[in-house]
Structure 1
Amino acid sequence: MQNLDTYLWPKSVALIGASPEENNAKAGIRGRLTSVLLQHGYDGEIFLISRSNHEISGRKTYRSILEVPSDVDLAIIATPAQYVVDEVRNCATVGVKSILVVSSGFAESKEDGAAERQKAIERICRLNRINLAGPNCQGFVNTLNGLFATFAKPYDKPNYAIVPASGRSGRVAIISQSGGIGNGYFVHTRLKEMAASYILTTGNEAGVNLSELIEYVLDRGETSAILVLMEDIKDPQTFIRAADKALKMGVPIIVSKIGKSEAGQRAAESHTAALAGGYSGTQAVFRKYGIIEADDIGEMADIANGFCHFGNCLPAGNRVAILTGSGGGGGLMADAASGAGLVVPELDVETRRSLDRVIPDYGTSQNPVDATAQGLRLVRYSGLIERVMPSSEIDAVLFVASTRDTLTFELDAERLTEISAELQKPVLVWTYTVPFPHIQEMYGEVGLPLFTDLRNCTRTMREMADYHAFRTSYLSCPVEPSLPGCDKTSAASLLVGMSGALPEFQSRPILASYNICEAADLLVDSPESAAEAQASLDVPIALKVQSPSILHKSDAGALKLNIKGPGAAAKAYSDIVANAKKYDPDAKIAGVLVQPMMPDGVEMILGISRDETFGPMLMVGLGGIFVEILNDVAFAPVPLSRNEARRMLRRLKGFPLLSGARGTTHADLDALVEMMVRLAKLADDFRDHIAEIDLNPVIVHPMGEGVSVADAMLVVDGSFGMSKQDQHRTTHSAA
């Protein structure tokens, strides 16, 4: 990533296409951009470039950036699209370091030449090492240095302070591929008395992209939470690095993702890839790094509000005290809290005794705490909070308030301000009445987040508790860079020359080099050798055809199970080969694999598929024939920690089958987790060469008895071990 200081923290700015005409139909956007740029106190140099105005707002203008007498860090281009390429070329000539193109008419347009214009400005900026932002965006706001490089209406002569005066909460950064929605986020957060550090819109992302901006904002360190609207992720490696950094720093990323539905799934050679949807990989990455998903703008702003106020004292668990002066309000909150997965425990004796001293006998102290209107006037909000906060039975407080009763709050504001500065547990306030206009501002000054949506309030508390638990787990159990018994050199030697779908007899040795399964079973090539194999094993056996053309052997009748005796083995061999040839007359058959039947257990599926954006994904789910019927699967990007593997298993609806539900035997979860971690390690080590892995079924035996792989298949891309010249020759021949 290039240094973005000259983009977001420039010492000098030139606006190309400046205009005084804010209300003109053609020049209105350029006029508003000029006005907004000049009105917010940016203390760097500003140069206005205009061919038709000698002066704008008392400032001298220049006809071209070529005439500007000083160096320019950032050039904002707002001219019609047909002039942008020449302006970018002029910027490169004078050494401009960053360029923001707000103009439309590029790759997003169907107009002839529009896509070529975007390629042209990309090429100029790349050759001259210029940061290119946009085109087709609404620009950005940096409230920290007063640079408002945008034409968005919320910043044009607003009748409110862009940054709330109280400063009692942390700041939120807003990063959006949509300009309109990004600035909509700002409006919602500002109405909740939240301060924004940055509002960044990215448009077509011809250069600077969303992932780079997330990482930059984190590195600057002025932000407590990040709101993101994304359509796609053009820089997945940077996104993953930024997501990991955010989680380690404790800065939550709250995302709304456009395009979750999938038009169709590609035809795949393995169950794993067929079950992987286009959104499943992105969702798996979000889960891996604790990224919070929401859809509604107000919901996202509310969640950010909770974190901005209490990011340094997140709830240690999901137990809440509910405080109210309205019994009905307390009941509504209790139901919503339970629905959100929060626990409303009865309070301890000491806490109840303290509350009972100030609550009328027609109230209650058990939880929800109904102080009644009389009790609330007696001890006020602060008195109730102080009495419940020390309780070891709770991790947080949900307060139910009426924002039409302003006197009680106003009399309590000074003490509440003192309390909020010292809180060790979060307090979220929900109002069941529509707030007076000044009430939200008063809550902001006190330092308590006010919610008007009950479900958003309880969801925010749950997200805060979950984030704290997730981050603690993430930091305590990182991915191990190396695993004992994983022989990458051996696996690499086995992969040389391999291509396409590998039958089980070729797949198993590769898996065995990572201690995922046994190396191999007996490969036989005649009825007689099948009979001999059964006699030597002297246990019931399974026989399977080995052909890269016949991957789903049961469909072809090329799989026989629980075969006993040499004669039965010989017949099974003959039937398998006959059925395979009938199923696919052109199939190349390498032989028939003979395996001892495996002990009973819970059937699972493990697999690897390659997500188009994020690369290899590990999948786990209920196995056997039910995987496609129930579709009970979980995905995670590789590599994988043991804690991540356990979380994946717990997400499965079928998890009770593994955990001893209703008197069933506990499965060997530790062995299954170890296999998942090793499979993820193999996929990560050969992420550019192993396209798919399918282990189905994997049989999880009772606790202490391990895990067995009953069937295995790898898909290899064929380039491993080739020189670059050979790879080029192969690609050229295929073309």
Structure 2
Amino acid sequence: DEALDRASVFAVTPPRAWRPVRTAGLVSISGGWSALMGDYFADEGIETPPLPDSVTRLLPDWVENVTFNNPFDITAQIYGFGEVYYQMADEMIKHDGFDAVSIMFGNWDGGERFYAPVATWQGRIKKPILAGCIETSALKDSYREWLDSDPMPNVQGGQALARGLAAMRDYFDRPGYLPQGWCADKPKRWKGPAVATFPDLVKPLSAHGLHCAGHAVLLDHTGKAGKGKPTYPAVLKLESPGLPHKTEHGAVKVGIADDTACAAAVKALAAIAKKHKLATWSVIAQPMLDLTDSLELLAGVVHDHVAGPVLTLGAGGVLAELFDKHAHALCPITPAQAEAMIDRIGVRKILNGYRGKPALDTPSLIDTLVGLSRFAYDHRDALRELDLNPIIVPPAGTPTTLIDALARFGE
């Protein structure tokens, strides 16, 4: 509901009339509604300055019990001297001190005529001009029928109106998202394979500041044994462009404790490569990481044909079911934007430490996200998608570590 409220004023206001709404003038039909709307506006940080002299001078001195507050209760004015109402509404709308003006619905028969200024001015002046009501439940059927058939811009619900105006302010206040010079530099040419696995990506990702888990190549498709030695306990993986999803094919062996178990695992993984007729492949060993008190995340990049590379961040492992949120950003991002992505997926308390758990290495996570976005941006003409899963954020003092990666490149 709040998302719809935030979009409400945008939906009924022509784009040419959009502006940052910091102040508003409100015409109300009762003192109680005026007070309630004043509270709604205050909650959203929208100021309600006093009525200008151009409005107050239109009101005769002899009208009793009249206050010139904003929001402005016009009940007495409508019944006492309705002939100046339209002038008063016009002056409020034209007043430079109001970034938006709303006239609240009433439920009396024939009251529709009092909203003529909304239809007259909306779109003609660069500010939102609309009708509104405190709550939709306060409307009788005749008014509902009128609103359904009349094109007059209106927002039903006092809180919705306040939120909608605040959203328009925030839209303009938000700093420019794209950095200066975005896409002014030439993209870098990708010199690796069209489908790049973890061993292919370690060097280029490391050059962009990502810390990749160490690995040793034990065997490859040529039958040549690698010079690397595993560190036990180890995880053995079959890496191949032709087998992007290793786990479901049994191509990951965990808990390898010694040379005997390692030799058996290498043989089993080589058999999987032969079974799937993989043209190129390698068996690598990585040390098993102690994930105690660590946070598992996943990140990825997809290429949008309009926006270019888009970075996505989400919780990984068992937390993926608890924190079912994802954050997205255009590449490249700044450290501040990386912080905002972290906040949006809801893991900040875990990173800060809780219930005796240690704080995790948030600075290196930020560096990882910024570096990943920069890699994607640098290769924006070729990178189609990139999947980093998992990314491990350990306790403070140990860098965020990338365990596995897969990327696709193409024209």
Deviation string, structure 1 residues 335-365 (Cα, Å, up to 9, x no partner): 9x59xxx8379x9xxx9xxxxxxxxxxxxxx
1:503 is aligned, of 188, 194, 197, to 197
- Corresponding position of 2:138: none
CA-CA distance at 1:697 after TM superposition: 0.9
1:531–1:569 CA contact under 8 A, matched in 2? no
Q: CA separation in 2, counterparts of 1:313 and 1:547?
A: 55
Task: Give the conservation status (yes or no) of the 8 Å contact 2:214–2:287.
Answer: no
Deviation, 1:519, is 8.6
Structure 1 residue 620 displacement after superposition: 1.5
- Contact 2:331–2:376 (CA under 8 A) maintained in structure 1: yes
User: Which deviates further from its counterpart, 434-443 or 546-555?
Assistant: 434-443
Instruction: Sort the Cα spacing of 1:467 and 1:344 in 2 relative to 1 into closer, same or farther, 3 A.
Output: closer
Instruction: Give the Cα separation in 2 of the matches to 1:676 and 1:651.
Output: 14
Is the contact made by 2:20 and 2:171 (CA closer than 8 Å) also made in structure 1?
Answer: no
Q: How many Å separate the matches in 1 of 2:86 and 2:382?
A: 63
Q: CA shift at 1:457, angstroms?
A: 5.6
Secondary structure, aligned partner of 1:433: coil
Distance in structure 1 (CA, Å) of the matches to 2:128 and 2:300: 47
The alignment's C-alpha RMSD in Å is 4.9
Q: How does 1:362-401 map to 2 (within 5 A)?
A: 378-380=65-67, 383-385=68-70
CA distance in 2, matches of 1:509, 1:524: 18
Summarize deviations over 1:29-48 as a string: whole Å, max 9, x none: xxxxxxxxxxxxxxxxxxxx
Residue 658 of structure 1: how far off its partner (Å): 4.4
Structure-1 separation of matches of 2:396 and 2:28? 46
**1:532-571 aligned within 5 A:** 533-534=229-230, 537=231, 540-571=233-264
Partner of 2:146: none
Task: Report what 1:431 is aligned to.
Answer: 105
Contact 2:77 2:85 in 1 (8 A): no
Aligned with residue 514 of structure 1, among 203, 208, 213 = 208
Deviations 1:438-468 (A, max 9, x none): 4223466799834235546644532443444
Q: Match for 2:115 among 440, 463, 473? A: 440
Q: d(CA) in 1 for partners of 2:167 and 2:304?
A: 27
Partner Cα separation in structure 2 for residue 705 and residue 455 of structure 1: 53
1:400, 1:543 → 2: CA distance? 75
Q: Distance in 1 between matches of 2:203 and 2:175?
A: 33
Whole-angstrom distance in 2 between the partners of 1:432 and 1:667? 56
Report the alpha carbon displacement of residue 607 of structure 1 after superposing the two structures with TM.
1.0
Report the equivalent of 2:316. 623
Task: Quote how far apart the aligned CAs of 1:716 are.
Answer: 1.7
How far apart are the structure 1 equivalents of 2:95 and 2:299?
49
1:314 paired to 2:19: no
User: Taking structure 1 as the reference length, what is the TM-score of the superposition?
Assistant: 0.40
Distance 1:399 1:661 in 2: 49
Deviations 1:604-630 (A, max 9, x none): 111111224443222211224775997
Q: State the percentage of identical aligned residues.
A: 21
Distance in 2 separating the partners of 1:499 and 1:516:
20
Name the residue aligned to 1:230.
none
Q: Deviations over 1:634-681 (max 9, x none)?
A: 333333344444443333355654465777655444433332233222
Contact 1:302 1:451 in 2 (8 A): no
Deviation at 1:711, TM superposition (A): 0.7
Shift of 1:304: 4.5
Q: Which residue of 1 aligns with 2:12?
A: 302
Q: Which of 300, 303, 319 is residue 607 of structure 1 equivalent to?
A: 300
| SS of residue matched to 1:533 | coil
Aligned-partner residue type, residue 30 of structure 2 = G
The CA deviation string for residues 291-320 of structure 1, in whole angstroms up to 9 with x for no partner, is x995xxx86453459x938x255369xxx9
**Residue 449 of structure 1 aligns to which amino acid in structure 2?**
I
After superposition, the C-alpha distances for 1:45-88 in whole angstroms (9 at most, x for unaligned) are: xxxxxxxxxxxxxxxxxxxxxxxxxxxxxxxxxxxxxxxxxxxx
Change (3 A) 1:603 1:400: farther
SS in 1 for 2:301: strand
Alignment of 1:705-720 (within 5 A): 705-717=398-410
Q: Is the 8 A contact 2:213 2:401 kept in 1?
A: no
| Structure 1, 540-549 or 555-564: larger mean CA deviation | 555-564
**Equivalent residues in 2 for 1:153-552 (5 A)?**
300=10, 302-304=12-14, 308=17, 311=19, 313-314=21-22, 325-327=30-32, 343=43, 378-380=65-67, 383-385=68-70, 405=78, 407=80, 417=91, 421-423=95-97, 428-433=102-107, 436-442=111-117, 449-452=129-132, 453-455=154-156, 458-469=159-170, 471-475=172-176, 479=179, 492=189, 495-496=190-191, 498-518=192-212, 521-525=215-219, 533-534=229-230, 537=231, 540-552=233-245
Q: Which has the higher contact order (CA 8 A, sep 6+)?
A: 2
Write the distance in 1 (CA, Å) between the matches of 2:316 and 2:76.
Answer: 54
CA distance in 2, matches of 1:564, 1:322: 77
Displacement of 1:512 in angstroms is 1.8
Change (3 A) 1:604 1:688: same
Cα pair 2:23 2:100 within 8 Å, conserved: yes
Cα distance, 1:572–1:513 mapped onto 2, change above 3 Å? same
SS of structure 2 residue aligned to 1:640: coil
